[in-house]
Structure 1
Amino acid sequence: MSILFALPAALRRYLVARFLGVFGNNMIAVALGWQIYDLTGSAWYLGLVGLVQFLPALALTVPSGLLVDRADRNHVFAASLALQCVAAATLAWGSTAGWVGPQAILAVCVLIGVARSLQMPAQQALIPALVPVRELPQALAVNASINKLAMVAGPALGGVLYVGGPGVAYGVCAAMFLLSVGLALRVKAPSPPRSQETMSWGAMFAGFVFIRHNPAVLGAMSLDLFATLLGGGTALLPIYARDILHTGAWGLGLLRAAPAVGGLLMTALMTRWPMEHHIGRRMYAAVFIYGLTTMVFSVCTSLPAALLVLAVMGAADIVSTVLRHSVVQVETDDALRGRVGAVHATSISASNQLGQFRAGVAAEWWGPVGAVLVGGAATLLITALWMRWFPALLQRDRLFRPTIPVHLGAKQ
């Protein structure tokens, strides 16, 4: 907590807004998952929740990145939170009035997907604008810690509030998003450099071109994309909670919070003892552990064991996330952060939301245990292949290299 107060005021406001937004994201995820599974009893519908959120992100990747590079990033961030506030309020109204069904939930998920297509590149571009580049890894670790704290409290509270009805859970989500909008508007960040580029296809797709010609960024992004796309099983947690672990919505909240508990403990360690050497090896090791723990979780039949395994999985995931984000941010010039961030955000959406759809379809074929087990094995295979295909990333020792400029970031 003392580290948080030592940060610049603008960064503190951003982190609190981000905390409230992630808190709302995770509350709404618990309520959505439980409600749609309760209405349909179908793994297919659980997968569709992810798919309909991913499709808008895919369609809006290029325009959202260009918008972030040309507009005030805090305003884009605030707008994305406002759209999620509208989505949560709509679900609260519909659930209380009794007209919400699977189709209505999926329609609102499209709006959530639009909002997140703006949110992710905006927030990725904001942090480097608020701190000097040398302080970026620590700022990202603090940001990850704040996120994990919200990911612990959000699902747990969402599961408890759902006992009072989905309308209660969605209503509190809406209030969280509304507060985060107010704080986001107060984040004063330096404006992005006014680009001299004319509006052209080249300018719009500059982020893709940069990533394709930067092996470190391409390797880091694609490793996370394919490992999580093939290995993620979060969408199936409602099935595990109700049918395998025999618990209720409160148990689902604990299952969704458990990885964040492990991640929160790991970020505390990373903040106290930053990882300065063997960056590449640690990133690959973290993804390997993520896949291994996914396989172990697939055969868990007791709630305490499942929570412990998920906590270890979350600790591994946060190591991979912080190192990956640090590599991407350090390698990217500020004028391209929005466009590169939009591509990165789309890869994250693909790995999470499209991964949910993959998990739902696989569960329809092989059952939830088989789907999660095969996903974990696929993650191990991806890790081995990427170690062979991106050896420079594996051998990277330090985050900063002599070729990396150190003048980027906010002027202090």
Structure 2
Amino acid sequence: MKIAVIGTGYVGLVTGVALSEIGHTVICIDVDPEKVEKLSQGIPTIYEPGLKELIQKNINNGRLFFTSEHRRGLEGADVVYIAVGTPQRRDGSANLSYVEQAAVDIAANITRNVIVVIKSTVPVGTNFHIKELINRNTVNGVHVRIASNPEFLREGSAVHDTFHGDRIVIGTEDGETADILAEINKPFDMPILKTDISSAEMIKYSSNAFLATKISFINEIANLCESLGANVEEVAKGMGFDHRIGPDFLKAGIGYGGSCFPKDTNALVQLAGNADHEFNLLKSVIEVNNNQQLLLIDKILSRFGSVRGKRAAVLGLAFKPNTDDLRESPALVMIPKLVKLGADVIAYDPIAVSNAKKQFSVEIEYTEDLNEALQDADFAVIITDWADVKNIDLSAFAAAMRTPVVFDGRNCYSLDRVRKSEVEYYSIGRPSHTPELTK
């Protein structure tokens, strides 16, 4: 099958590469010629474990191509995937301008009937809108069939998730289209759910909203645990044994971030409002998450009173490990707050420093060396649970820092391990630890 993929962000690039890996001929289209040039040379434009190797392999095998010309990319395509961004508007709704532009480009360049698959996360009803937009603007007397095929990829493990997911959702208007898409995806060897288009669109939003709800719930429990002297890890473990609840997404911390959960929860609230339905539960989920991102600031001020003139080592900039993505990262909230309070901030991240420099307007230091970040710091704040942060010998804090005070937003260390160290330690939903002697 010859497939075109419009968009080479996280979803588009991983989707295109994966489809070429299972045997299809894929050409990825992006409006940025510099990005296309890099990708054509086998150089990924995002950080995702395992992606570079698959790009190079399938370019060499003659199954994967890149272009900035829609006419070339769409020529002869049997199926066209739309995988462009749907960023959040100020009111929380999804901005569909990139999807609509992709539709216009498809209409102007296709010369045969094709199936258009919307991979982007879009509100219910968008597929029909895009189908009508394309068919209204085609210039060659051709028409398209539309399908919803939402993605369920986690940044940092997107390649793995593509080949080891829980399900593939295909929403169509007719059985023939569903069968064609099922055959395309058959080599992934996953359960395939065929449904109507509106339900497929809703499945994506509902899944992310439920997971966000689970995260905010355990974070509220964590804050209650601190007040009552309980340990949220033990509570979560006990809850997770119940098969109706399960252990996943019950890890307390400083909130969710990234390109999906914040955007999709806000979009679903907006979508519900448009349907005259007040989604009060999800509004509370969002409020809890927003408050959670500043939780460590309160702990820091409670411990020090003032941080003016103190050196703060912020460990992690990306919203999660194994990605260079800062979208909705707690670091974007906490670092400006620390700077405003007068702290001297040095930020560590092994991957995301380059992206961070483009996003922070405040003056801070950056480093990709963990030990350099800790040197002479008055306190450390863990934002991202990178492997080297989780695996560090806790004695390194005491050896390098002026005062080994650690505020752990990801509960990286067991309390047993902390109690054997000289580190003054504050985490989320667990008892703090103050050694008898601090440096």
Q: Which has the higher helix share?
A: 1
Q: Same fold (TM over 0.5)?
A: no
Q: Bigger radius of gyration, 1 or 2? A: 2
Q: Which has the higher strand share?
A: 2
What TM-score range do you get, normalising by the shorter chain?
Answer: under 0.3
Q: Which has the higher contact order (CA 8 A, sep 6+)?
A: 1
